[in-house]
Chains A and B, each alone.
Chain A
Amino acid sequence: MTGSDRRTILKALVATLAGLSVGGLDASAASASAASASAASAASESWTTQTLGAFADTLIPGERRSPGDMVIAGAVTGPGAVQAGVVTLLHSPELPVAPLLPAIAALLDARAVAYAALRLIWLSPSRPPFVGLSFADRTALVGGLFDPDDLDRPIWQVMSLLVGLAFDTAGQQDTVEALAQGHPGLTWLRFPEPDADGLWRFPDFSYGRPLAALHPNTTASGSPA
Chain B
Amino acid sequence: MTAQTTDVLVIGSGFGGAIPAYYLAAAGARVTVLERGPRAAAADFAHSMRLGTYNKIVDVVQGDGVSVVAGNCVGGGSVVYFAASLRAPSFVFERHGGLGRRLWPAALTRAALDPWYDRVEEALPVTRTDWSDVSYAGGVLAAACRRAGHTCNPVPVAVDTGTCTNCNWMLSGCRFDAKRSLLLNYLPAAEAHGAEIRPLHEVQTVTPSPLPGSRYAVGYTVLDPDDYSCTAQAGVIHAKVVVLAAGAVGTPVILQRSALLLGGVPAAVGRYFSGNGDRVSVADVVEDKARSLLGLSHPDGSAYEGLPVGRPITAASYDHLDPAAPEYSRFTLQQIYFPPLTNLLPQAAGSPAWFGVEKRNMRARWRSWLTLLAMTEDDNEGTFGTVPLTGGFTRLAPGLGLGTMTYRPTSRTRGAWGRADTALREILEKDGLSRVRPWSENVADTVTAHPLGSARIGDDPATSALTDSHELRGHSGLFVTDGAAVPTSLTVNPSLTIAALAERAVATIATRAADAGVVLRRDIPLPGR
Distance between Cα atoms of A194 and B359 in the complex (Å): 26
Contacts of B129 in A (CB 8 A): 222
Contacts of A173 in B (CB 8 A): 50
Count of chain A residues near B, Cβ 8 A = 69
Binds A, one of B163-171, B191-199, B239-247, B476-484: B163-171
Q: Would A223 and B309 count as touching, CB distance under 8 A? A: no
Take A168-B363, A170-B49, A224-B318 as given contacts and tell me if A161 and B146 are in contact as well, using a CB distance cutoff of 8 Å.
Answer: no
Q: Would B166 and A212 count as touching, CB distance under 8 A? A: no
Contacts of A221 in B (CB 8 A): 87, 117, 121, 126, 128, 156
Contacts of B317 in A (CB 8 A): 212, 215
The chain B residue with its CB closest to the CB of A216 is B151
Q: Would A222 and B154 count as touching, CB distance under 8 A? A: yes
Take A176-B47, A198-B47 as given contacts and tell me if A60 and B360 are in contact as well, using a CB distance cutoff of 8 Å.
Answer: yes
6 smallest CB-CB distances across A and B, nearest first, come from A164-B344, A212-B152, A222-B156, A211-B142, A169-B49, A223-B87
Contacts of B397 in A (CB 8 A): 94-97
Q: Tell whether B133 is near chain A: CB-to-CB under 8 Å.
A: yes
Distance between Cα atoms of A194 and B153 in the complex (Å): 30
Q: Which of B13-36 contact A (CB under 8 A)?
A: none
Q: Which of A12-69 contact B (CB under 8 A)?
A: 58-61
Q: Would A206 and B132 count as touching, CB distance under 8 A? A: yes
CB distance from B339 to the nearest CB of A (A): 7
Q: Would A208 and B131 count as touching, CB distance under 8 A? A: yes
Contacts of A201 in B (CB 8 A): 165-167
The chain B residue with its CB closest to the CB of A147 is B442
CB distance from B168 to the nearest CB of A (A): 7
The chain A residue with its CB closest to the CB of B399 is A94
Q: Tell whether A75 is near chain B: CB-to-CB under 8 Å.
A: yes
* Among A194, A206, A212, A222, contact of B128 (Cβ-Cβ < 8 Å): A222
Take A161-B443, A190-B366, A191-B340 as given contacts and tell me if A175 and B492 are in contact as well, using a CB distance cutoff of 8 Å.
Answer: no
Q: Tell whether B461 is near chain A: CB-to-CB under 8 Å.
A: no
Contacts of A199 in B (CB 8 A): 47, 165, 167, 175
* Among A58, A209, A218, A223, contact of B355 (Cβ-Cβ < 8 Å): A58
Q: Tell whether B298 is near chain A: CB-to-CB under 8 Å.
A: yes
Distance between Cα atoms of A165 and B397 in the complex (Å): 14
Q: Tell whether B139 is near chain A: CB-to-CB under 8 Å.
A: yes
Q: Tell whether A120 is near chain B: CB-to-CB under 8 Å.
A: no
Distance between Cα atoms of A158 and B62 in the complex (Å): 9
CB distance from B408 to the nearest CB of A (A): 10
CB distance from A40 to the nearest CB of B (A): 29
Distance between Cα atoms of A218 and B478 in the complex (Å): 37
Q: Would A212 and B150 count as touching, CB distance under 8 A? A: yes
Residue contacts A-B, CB under 8 angstroms, 14 given? A92-B51, A94-B55, A96-B397, A146-B443, A164-B344, A168-B363, A175-B47, A189-B364, A189-B366, A192-B308, A204-B299, A206-B134, A215-B317, A216-B151
Distance between Cα atoms of A224 and B91 in the complex (Å): 11
Contacts of A214 in B (CB 8 A): 151-153
Distance between Cα atoms of A83 and B223 in the complex (Å): 36
Task: Provide the A68-107 mask, 1 if CB < 8 A to any CB of B, else 0.
Answer: 0000000110001000000001001011110000000000
Q: Would B444 and A169 count as touching, CB distance under 8 A? A: no
Q: Would B344 and A161 count as touching, CB distance under 8 A? A: yes
Q: Would A75 and B153 count as touching, CB distance under 8 A? A: no
Q: Would A200 and B168 count as touching, CB distance under 8 A? A: yes
Q: Would A58 and B356 count as touching, CB distance under 8 A? A: yes
Distance between Cα atoms of A216 and B152 in the complex (Å): 10
Q: Tell whether A182 is near chain B: CB-to-CB under 8 Å.
A: no
Q: Tell whether B341 is near chain A: CB-to-CB under 8 Å.
A: yes
Task: Provide the B85-98 mask, 1 if CB < 8 A to any CB of A, else 0.
Answer: 01101100000000
Take A160-B355, A202-B168, A204-B300 as given contacts and tell me if A212 and B363 are in contact as well, using a CB distance cutoff of 8 Å.
Answer: no
Distance between Cα atoms of A223 and B37 in the complex (Å): 31
Count of chain B residues near A, Cβ 8 A = 79
Q: Would B298 and A218 count as touching, CB distance under 8 A? A: no
Q: Would A168 and B344 count as touching, CB distance under 8 A? A: yes
Distance between Cα atoms of A112 and B244 in the complex (Å): 48
Contacts of B133 in A (CB 8 A): 206
CB distance from B61 to the nearest CB of A (A): 12
Q: Tell whether B235 is near chain A: CB-to-CB under 8 Å.
A: no
Task: Provide the B323-347 mask, 1 if CB < 8 A to any CB of A, else 0.
Answer: 0000000001000000111011000
Distance between Cα atoms of A175 and B308 in the complex (Å): 14
CB distance from A131 to the nearest CB of B (A): 17
Distance between Cα atoms of A190 and B332 in the complex (Å): 30
Q: Tell whether B507 is near chain A: CB-to-CB under 8 Å.
A: no
Q: Which of A151-208 contact B (CB under 8 A)?
A: 154, 157-158, 160-161, 163-165, 167-176, 188-192, 194, 198-208
Distance between Cα atoms of A60 and B362 in the complex (Å): 11
Contacts of A164 in B (CB 8 A): 341, 343-344
Q: Would A169 and B339 count as touching, CB distance under 8 A? A: yes
Q: Tell whether B352 is near chain A: CB-to-CB under 8 Å.
A: yes
Q: Would B49 and A171 count as touching, CB distance under 8 A? A: yes
Q: Would B134 and A157 count as touching, CB distance under 8 A? A: no
Q: Would A94 and B309 count as touching, CB distance under 8 A? A: no
Q: Tell whether A4 is near chain B: CB-to-CB under 8 Å.
A: no
Contacts of B492 in A (CB 8 A): 223-224
Contacts of A206 in B (CB 8 A): 131-136, 139, 310
Q: Would B143 and A160 count as touching, CB distance under 8 A? A: no
Distance between Cα atoms of A60 and B153 in the complex (Å): 37
Q: Which of B164-195 contact A (CB under 8 A)?
A: 165-169, 175
* Among B89, B154, B363, contact of A189 (Cβ-Cβ < 8 Å): B363
Contacts of B131 in A (CB 8 A): 206-211
* New A-B pairs, 13, CB < 8 Å, besides A168-B344, A207-B134, A221-B156: A157-B443, A158-B62, A161-B344, A165-B341, A200-B47, A202-B167, A205-B306, A210-B131, A212-B151, A218-B318, A222-B129, A222-B154, A224-B89
CB distance from B367 to the nearest CB of A (A): 5
Contacts of B367 in A (CB 8 A): 189-190
Distance between Cα atoms of A165 and B55 in the complex (Å): 12
Q: Would A94 and B134 count as touching, CB distance under 8 A? A: no
Task: Provide the B54-84 mask, 1 if CB < 8 A to any CB of A, else 0.
Answer: 0100000010000000000000000000000
Contacts of B300 in A (CB 8 A): 204
Distance between Cα atoms of A194 and B308 in the complex (Å): 12
Q: Tell whether A118 is near chain B: CB-to-CB under 8 Å.
A: no
Distance between Cα atoms of A60 and B364 in the complex (Å): 12
